[in-house]
Structures are given as C-alpha cells and as structure tokens.
Structure 1
Amino acid sequence: MTSDMPAGARPPGGKTFFGHPRALSTLFLTEMWERFSFYGMRAILVLYLTAAVADGGLAIRESTANAVYGAYNAMVYLMALPGGWIADRLIGARRSVLWGGVVIAAGHYVMAVPTRWSVFGGMTLIVLGTGLLKPNISTMVGDLYDRDSPRRDAGFSIFYMGINLGGFIAPLVTGLLGEKINWHLGFGAAAIGMTFGVVQYVVGGRNLGEAGARPVDPLLGADRRRALTHVGVAVVVVLAVLAALALAGLFTVNTVVNLLTLVTVLVAAGYFARILTDREVSATERSRMKAYLWLFVFAAAFWLIYDQAGSVLNIFAADKTNRGVLGLTFPASWLQSVNPILIIIGAPLAAWLWLKLGHRVSTPMKFAVGLVLNGLSFVLMAAAAQAAVGGRLVSPLWLVAVYAIQVAGELSLSPVGLSATTRLAPVKYASQMMGLWFLASAVGDAIGGQVARLAGTWSEATYFLTFGLASVVLGLSAVMFARHIRMLMAGIH
C-alpha cells in the first residue's frame, strides 16, 4: 500500500480500488446510487406534476410545477449547510451519510405510495436526507488521503465519475417505468436504488477505517445543549409559521414555494454580510470575499438557466419533440441522460485544456465563458421553439445540441468555482465555504423556479431568447470586470 494514504484508510491485506484505498469503492457506489435515486426522481418529477389526472399525474399548472422543481433543487443545496454542521459538530460524517441515505430512501418510498400528495412528503424527506449525505460523503473521500497526496485529485475524479454514472443510468430506468407504466413505479425504482446504496455502505463500512468516524469539532457539555436548544427553537418556529399559514388559509403550494425562495436568498445575503463584517477576517481576506461575491452571482445566474433542463426543457421534450424510433416512442425523460454522459466525455478534455492554458485564462474569464455558452444554449432553444410553432414536432437533436453547449459551459465554470472557493476562503470560514458554493446553486435554482413561471405566459421562443441573451450579456460584463475582480482576488489567479 502506498504511503500517501492515512493509516486509517489502509485496508487489510493490501487490497485497493484501482490503486486507491478500498474504501473509495464503498463511497463511489454510495454516491452512484444516491445520484441514481436523485436524478431518477428528478427526471420524471415535473412530468408527473403536470400530467393529466387520467394519466396518473397531478394536473398542476406548468408554471407552478416549474416553481416547485426550482424550490426543491434549492432546498437540496441549502440543506448542505446544516448537514455539514451536524456532521462537524454532532455525529460525524460517517453517521451523517448513513442516516442521510436512510432518510432519502424513506422519502422515495413515500413518493412511491400511489396517493395524490405523497410526492410532497417524500420530497421533504429527500431534501433533509440529501442535506446530511451530499456534503459529508465528499468530506469522507478527502479523509482517505493525506492532504498533499498526489492521488487525492485522481481519487476525487473517480468518485465524481460515480455521480455522472448514476445520473446517466437513472432516467433510463425511472423514465421507462414512470412514463410508460406508472409514475409511482418510477419513484419506487429510485427508492430501490437508494436502498442498494445504503446496504452496500453498511456492508463496506469495514473498509472505511477512521474516515468520518467522529465529529471534527464536537460540541460538548453546555455548548451542545445550547446548540440543540437553538435547533429545537428553530424547528418550533418553522412549524408555527406553517401552522399560521394553514389557519389563514394560505398553506398552498405557491405560498410555500415563494417562502422557500425568499428564505434561500436571505440566507445567502446573511452569510455574505456575516463574513464581510467579521472583524477577525483580514483586509486581504475581505477583498477576496468581495471578489467571490461576484463569482457567486455569476454562478447563481448560470444555475438559474442550466437547471431548467429538468423542468422547462423536460416539458419541451415531452410536448414538442419527435421521439419516435423504429415505430416506438422513447420516454422524454431519457433525454435527461444526455447531460451526464457528455460530462463523462468532456471532463478529461476540460481538465487538459485548463492545465494547458495555465494562468493565461483567469477564473473570472472562465466564468464568463460559462455564462456566454449557457446563454447561447438558450438562444439555440429559442430557434427550436420557433421551429415547433404550430404544433410541429422537432428533432430531439435540438435538445442534445443544447445540452452539449451547456455542458461545455458547466465544465468552464463548475470545477473552476470549486477550486476558487477553496482558494479564496478566509481561514476562519475555510470549512464552511463549500456550503457557500452549494448556496450559489440554491439561489440560482430558487430564482430560476420563479423565472420559469414565465415560460407558461410568454411564447417559448421569447422566453428562451430573453434569458439566453441576458446570460450572454452578463458573461460579456464579466469579461469587462475581470481585471477588477482579479485585483480583488489579491494574488489568487
């Protein structure tokens, strides 16, 4: 066994997983099945919400369904903040991942129950479980290596391959079952996938050594009791607000979605205000956080458009594309598998390109490229929507091309953003900054869900062209301000 693995990560008998700690296979499969369940359910969610009652759906208006989808995605990312805190201060990453997987599986099983409103109870559980699992399983992967291990980046690359492998397979399974047989059967397939993940996580636990076994900064004694009291008070306040809305007759899907959107934006604003006003943050660190605020806004704008693949673009695939092949019609949700397979193909190419370019292309410029490409994908969608005017069905290759452009944009922005997050983080907030990066996705998805309501009132061509051009303009603005942002980054490229 190589010496760059911590002792707790070294498996008995010298067994490895492609030259990496054996525990990586356990975490790889857990993440793969979790992403299978997540993307499998997400691929059919909006289609189920908008399907006619006669077809087993809820017959919710497309605008409301798009907003629900956006709020759901936002909550998944927002819950990474308390999920990371619970692991760091209370129960450790290992138990957080286990209980997160159990709660996620329970949520999918609830959604599999063929009742009208089981979907919302199930989504709530999935959000809570994902908040526990998602940030902490990545932490455990890092625990398998010494900080300066040359295998560390390669290990994460293998791990992230599990994300896209699960994301590729999931829509093919849940889409076929959900769209062709029964929606709740599709949700049930997602539940079984997460169950596989939990079972193999428990069985493979002996390979994990000390990774994530204990909280890194545990709360003890009075501090623990005080923190748990605050959590209890927060839960009571949330329940009281929901009860008040119910008593006032305002407990509706739209009210809850709007409230969740507001909370997400306020949390992000509060987080930045806290860091920027903290006297323990040095002037240089504060300058870098001001630069990061720009990147945060750019990232949120990117995800606002990108994550509409599962809502607005998914509905377009169902209603406006010719999906006939050899006399058979394939499920619209199958097109959700295009994105992850393109990432699997494109990620090594992007890594090679950025390595080749080195510091000649700055982080703000890479973000600008991502925004421009994202915008151009919606400009292309506007052309597709115009071609579909009058009830004509267009080729699904339009969507394949759109997803290809978006993936190129994602590979320009997402991995670069992860790296910038760790490099620009103030020392005091280093462990919390990854949660802040997830928060950019949450804000983008929350606002994107509200924006997507317009897809039901504007013409599709106008909708796509408006927000596509807005993203291109924002990307060009990022180019104009790139020098200023680099100055704020204070020596960080």
Structure 2
Amino acid sequence: MDQTTAASIMSIYGSLVYLSTLVGGWLSDRVWGSRKTVFYGGVLIMLGHIVLALPAGVTALYASIALIVVGTGLLKPNVSDMVGGLYSVEDRRRDAGFSIFVFGINLGSFLAPWLVPWAAQGFGFHIFGNEMNFHAGFSLAAIGMFFGLVQYVWGGKKYLSPESLTPNDPIDRGDLLNIIKWVVIGFVVIALVLAAMAGFGQLNVDNVITLLTILAIALPIYYFVMMLRSSKVTKVERSRVKAYIPLFFAAAIFWGIEESGSVVLALFAAQRTVLHIGNWHFTAANFQSLNPLFIMILTPIFVWLWEHWKKQPTAPGKFAAGLVFAGLSYMWMALPGMLYGTAGKVSPFWLVGSWFLVEIAEMLISPIGLSITTKLAPEAYRSQMMSLWFMADATGQAVNAQIVKFYSTGTEVQYFMAVGLVSVAFAVIMFFLVKRINVLMEGVH
C-alpha cells in the first residue's frame, strides 16, 4: 500500500470513530440514558481488545475495529455529558472540571505507548524471547477497561445524578418504527451506491474514503438543520444552536490540524527528522508522546488561569485564540524546509515546538468546547449535541483524508503554510464575530 493511501485510511478511520458518536448520542437521548450507554460502550471496547488479543488473523482485526469504533461512539459523547452534569451551568469550576477530565484522558494516552510495549515484551520478563507479542499488549488494554468499568459502576452510584439513568427524550413506538424504516432505507441506499461503484469499476479504497468524507461533512449539516427546525427546541435554545455553528467550524479546523500529528507529522518524523539527541536515540513513534505530555504540563496552568482570571475571554474568544496557535504550529513546520531545504533531515526540536504550539491551542479549544457544548445544548438533544462536538473532529479528519494526498517531502512548505494560513484566517474572522456570537448565546458564557 502506498504512503498516500495509508495516510488517508488512517485519517478516515479516525473520522469513523467520531462519526459513530452520533449513534451513541441518539441512543442515550432516546433509549438508554447516558449512564447505561457509556457502560455498554465500555464493554464493546473491552471486547474489541479481547478479540485483538486473540491470534485469529485478519478477521479478528476487522471485527475488533468494528467493536472499538461502535463502543467509542457509545462512550465518548455521553461520558462528556455526564462530566457536565457534575456542575451547574453557573459553576465557575465547570471549565476547570473539563480540563481535569481532558488531563485524565491524556494521562492514559501518555502511559499507553510505554505500558503496551512493556506487556508485548513479556511484562518485563521477556517470556516471548526477543519478539514483540502484540496480543499480550492488547490484552493489557482489555484488562484496564475491565477495571475501569468496575470503578465506573461503583463510583456512579455515589457521584452520578439519577437523571443519567433515563433518556432525555424517550422514544415512543411510532418514532421507533419510523427510525427502523429510515435505517433500512439507509442500508439499502449504501448497498446500491456500493453496487453502482462496483458496476462502473470504481469500488476502491480511495473512492470509499471520498464517500465517507462526503458523509462526514453532510451529517453535521443535517443535524444543525434538524435541531434548528425541531419543535422541541425553544427560541432561546435555537439562538444558542446558531451560536454553536461558527464554534463547530473552528473546532473542525483545529482538530484537522491537531489530529494530523498521527499522520502528517508522523511522516515528517520518519522522513525528515534526526532521531537522536547526542547519544540518546529514539524512534519516530516516540514523538506521539509529546501530545499527552504537553497537555499534562499545560492543564494545571490553564486550570489555575480559568479559576483566577476574573475578566477572561468568552468561549468564542478562546476559540479564536486557539486557532491562531493551531495555525502557527503548522506555519512553524514550514520553516525548516524554507531555511534548509527539504532534501536532508532536521532537528527534532522543530516537531517539539510544533506540538507545544498546537497543545496550547488544544487547551483553549478542547476543554472549553466540551464545556460550552453542554451549556448550549437544547434539553431534548443534550447527548446528540455532544455528538456534534465530536463530529467536528470527524469532519476535520475526513477533510484531512483528502488534503493529505497533497503532502510530500517536496510539497511540505506549501502544505504547512496553506493549512496554517487557513486556520489563522478563520481566527481573524472569529475575532470579529465574538460579540455577535456572545449575543446569540443568550447569557451563556
């Protein structure tokens, strides 16, 4: 498989993970409630890693991916919604609480690249000889999720609200039959599209990726239209949904840049970076630890800032500032090619600087976005609104799946500058729209 296709697949896989949050949000709002939906999602993720731990070949790989994608879709939007439920809308600790939540996620992200290889190498005893046993590594993830589910059930009884056990907008029989009808129609349409592509000789990986990109862009548009036209949404809630639209686009641009760390920056690390500092040698994959490392370093700083900064910017202002830093992280990566050319290898500190800048952006956008989404969500669409937040990531990665095709060593300067300038340009637009968005938010800050 060529590099371009592999990079596109990586991006679209990430997009599918976040697309599945739409299903999780709907099931929470209409069927199970957030607490049960999170539990079922955790079980599926655990099962996915159990399947990966079995030496059953390619079939097990695809089955595990399906389980993990669906499980993440059930868990991700609803656990965030429950974090919001721990605080009142007026509680000043709310943004700090979401920052701590994000810190916990990244603590796991930082430890995993070290613990999983440790397990794969025989848990420190080299029981597999000199070979890496990835099945043992995946088993560690399954064990971790099992204990996570145990503490979730016990801790939930004490800390989570009783409302999390019931759906916000329970489905009735008429709605259920209508949903089943549209699901069947959807599967039939997908089957017909794939059959038509096969008939014309166009059923290949690249075209399927393009189809999924279109889906990832169309779905959030549909959801915004649905909520704005819904009779279940009040006038004030409708205004808040309108305020959320530019925040969604800003988040999509940010996540497109941030998630490129596992695609474009990973390629830059492997192809264009000196992989040692003095006598210390490392691999290109080790750079992936920079993301969670910087988040863990920056989170307490920003938690303190949000708790003590009395006249801090509103959410739209923070988003705009975040986009500036995200754009600068890419424009920074254009500099080594401009200064030294693209033929040789450059210092690893270029990547360190880029990750530092984009993680400042994440501090200004990710926890703030989680918090503001719970505040702006219509009551009947609370979990589905959280799914929309994650859809911004899906949209950003889906667009990445297309534009990454233009990245190569020879085009890196133009690529980094173009994407960086798009982010900064939208930030400027956001700065001009801050007052208007604040008005539409109807008292939410």
Could you tell me the TM-score, scaled by structure 2's length?
Answer: 0.83
Question: Once the 2 structures are TM-superposed, how far is the Cα of residue 68 of structure 1 from its aligned partner?
Answer: 1.6
Q: Deviations over 1:230-270 (max 9, x none)?
A: 44543454445445544554332212211111011111111
Distance between the aligned counterparts of 1:397 and 1:146, measured in 2? 42
Contact conserved, 1:83 with 1:133, CA < 8 A, in 2?
yes
**1:413 matched residue in structure 2:** 365
**1:227-238 equivalence runs, <5 A:** 227-238=179-190
Distance between the aligned counterparts of 1:175 and 1:453, measured in 2? 31
Which of residues 399, 418, 438 in structure 2 aligns to 1:466? 418
Contact conserved, 1:308 with 1:448, CA < 8 A, in 2?
yes
Contact conserved, 1:174 with 1:187, CA < 8 A, in 2?
no
**1:436 matched residue in structure 2:** 388
Question: Once the 2 structures are TM-superposed, how far is the Cα of residue 152 of structure 1 from its aligned partner?
Answer: 7.3
Distance between the aligned counterparts of 1:125 and 1:407, measured in 2? 30
Q: Does 2:267 align with 1:315? A: yes
Distance between the aligned counterparts of 1:271 and 1:164, measured in 2? 29
Q: Does 2:122 align with 1:170? A: no
Distance between the aligned counterparts of 2:25 and 2:131, measured in 1? 33
Distance between the aligned counterparts of 1:173 and 1:90, measured in 2? 37
Q: Does 2:71 align with 1:129? A: yes
**2:18 matched residue in structure 1:** 77
Question: Once the 2 structures are TM-superposed, how far is the Cα of residue 489 of structure 1 from its aligned partner?
Answer: 3.3
Structure 1 residue matching 2:28: 3-state secondary structure: helix
Q: Percent identity?
A: 39
Question: Once the 2 structures are TM-superposed, how far is the Cα of residue 445 of structure 1 from its aligned partner?
Answer: 1.4
Distance between the aligned counterparts of 1:486 and 1:169, measured in 2? 39
Question: Once the 2 structures are TM-superposed, how far is the Cα of residue 347 of structure 1 from its aligned partner?
Answer: 1.5
Contact conserved, 1:90 with 1:219, CA < 8 A, in 2?
yes
One-letter amino acid of the counterpart of residue 131, structure 1 = G
**1:325-340 equivalence runs, <5 A:** 327=279, 329-340=281-292
Q: Judging changes above 3 Å, is the alpha-carbon distance between structure 1 residues 81 and 249 closer, same or farther for their aligned structure 2 residues?
A: same
Q: Does 2:419 align with 1:447? A: no
Distance between the aligned counterparts of 1:203 and 1:478, measured in 2? 41
Q: Judging changes above 3 Å, is the alpha-carbon distance between structure 1 residues 489 and 217 closer, same or farther for their aligned structure 2 residues?
A: closer
Q: Does 2:144 align with 1:192? A: no
Question: Once the 2 structures are TM-superposed, how far is the Cα of residue 83 of structure 1 from its aligned partner?
Answer: 0.8
**1:58-69 equivalence runs, <5 A:** 60-69=1-10
Q: Does 2:430 align with 1:478? A: yes
Contact conserved, 1:363 with 1:420, CA < 8 A, in 2?
yes
**1:44-123 equivalence runs, <5 A:** 60-108=1-49, 121-123=63-65
Distance between the aligned counterparts of 1:416 and 1:402, measured in 2? 21
One-letter amino acid of the counterpart of residue 65, structure 2 = M
Q: Deviations over 1:433-456 (max 9, x none)?
A: 212211212111111221111113
Distance between the aligned counterparts of 2:131 and 2:198, measured in 1? 29
Q: Does 2:258 align with 1:306? A: yes
Structure 1 residue matching 2:310: 3-state secondary structure: helix
One-letter amino acid of the counterpart of residue 384, structure 1 = P
Contact conserved, 1:72 with 1:123, CA < 8 A, in 2?
no
Distance between the aligned counterparts of 2:315 and 2:85, measured in 1? 27
One-letter amino acid of the counterpart of residue 216, structure 2 = T
Contact conserved, 2:20 with 2:69, CA < 8 A, in 1?
yes
Q: Judging changes above 3 Å, is the alpha-carbon distance between structure 1 residues 321 and 243 closer, same or farther for their aligned structure 2 residues?
A: same
Which of residues 240, 243, 246 in structure 2 aligns to 1:288? 240
Contact conserved, 1:303 with 1:444, CA < 8 A, in 2?
yes
One-letter amino acid of the counterpart of residue 192, structure 1 = L
**1:5-404 equivalence runs, <5 A:** 60-108=1-49, 121-141=63-83, 158-174=100-116, 185-186=133-134, 189-202=137-150, 205-209=153-157, 212-219=164-171, 221=173, 223-246=175-198, 248-278=200-230, 281-324=233-276, 327=279, 329-386=281-338, 389=341, 391-404=343-356
- Structure 1 unpaired stretches of 5+: 1-59
**1:46 matched residue in structure 2:** none
Q: Deviations over 1:442-487 (max 9, x none)?
A: 1111112211111138511221112112222221222233333334
Contact conserved, 1:111 with 1:184, CA < 8 A, in 2?
no
**2:125 matched residue in structure 1:** none
Could you tell me the TM-score, scaled by structure 1's length?
Answer: 0.76
Question: Once the 2 structures are TM-superposed, how far is the Cα of residue 170 of structure 1 from its aligned partner?
Answer: 1.7
Higher RCO, 1 vs 2 (CA within 8 Å, ≥6 residues apart): 2
Q: Judging changes above 3 Å, is the alpha-carbon distance between structure 1 residues 115 and 206 closer, same or farther for their aligned structure 2 residues?
A: closer
Question: Once the 2 structures are TM-superposed, how far is the Cα of residue 114 of structure 1 from its aligned partner?
Answer: 7.9
Structure 1 residue matching 2:345: 3-state secondary structure: coil
Structure 2 residue matching 1:459: 3-state secondary structure: helix
- Structure 2 unpaired stretches of 5+: 122-128
Q: Deviations over 1:272-308 (max 9, x none)?
A: 2222334554554444333221111111111111110
One-letter amino acid of the counterpart of residue 193, structure 1 = A
Aligned pair count reads: 433
Q: Judging changes above 3 Å, is the alpha-carbon distance between structure 1 residues 160 and 377 closer, same or farther for their aligned structure 2 residues?
A: closer
Distance between the aligned counterparts of 1:364 and 1:147, measured in 2? 17
Distance between the aligned counterparts of 1:320 and 1:137, measured in 2? 39
One-letter amino acid of the counterpart of residue 312, structure 1 = V
